[in-house]
Structure 1
Amino acid sequence: MNTDTKHNASHAEGPGVLDWHKSSYSSGDTGNCVEVATAPASTHIRDSKDTTIAPVIVGNPAWAAFLNMVEG
């Protein structure tokens, strides 16, 4: 994954800057692009083509379980 953008974050973990990474599986051809940023207790997921939409925020254990499931 490559660093794409930084975004100010105000959420339960406090203000800070998130370092967003575009998925290596994202393709400009299909319009299916996802970015992920991690914080100490959560993972933030957003549509890289419309960063004005609020990201989905999940706990790090839930994100790890998701990755384990899809990576099989």
Structure 2
Amino acid sequence: MSTTTELAWFKSSYSGSQGDSCVEVAVTEQAVCVRDSKDVARPHFAVGRDGWSRFVGFLTDV
């Protein structure tokens, strides 16, 4: 998988202008990578795209 520096990270539009308490995501062909925006040096984790879709679908139903 790509290293953290090669990924195109982005924050949710809901994160606000301060951007101090967010997660960032980067999408690859195989997975969606997630990291803490306050500590980008820490390792990120990756979730399969199908799993990410189910997760987001669950959140929109709540």
- By percentage of residues, which structure has more strand? 1
Superposition TM-score tier, normalisation by shorter sequence: 0.7 to 0.9
Q: How far apart, CA to CA, are the structure 2 residues paired with 1:71 and 1:17?
A: 30
Gaps of 5+ in 2: none
How many equivalent pairs are there? 59
Give TM-score scaled by structure 2 length: 0.79
Give the SS at the match of 1:71: helix
The alpha carbon displacement at 1:34 in A equals: 0.9
Gaps of 5+ in 1: 1-7, 11-15
Percent of aligned pairs with the same residue?
Answer: 36
Structure 1's consecutive aligned runs of 4 or more residues displaced over 3 angstroms after TM superposition are: none
How well do the aligned residues superpose, as a CA RMSD in angstroms? 2.1
Give TM-score scaled by structure 1 length: 0.70
Structure with the greater relative contact order (CA < 8 A, sep ≥ 6): 1 or 2? 2
Give the SS at the match of 1:40: coil
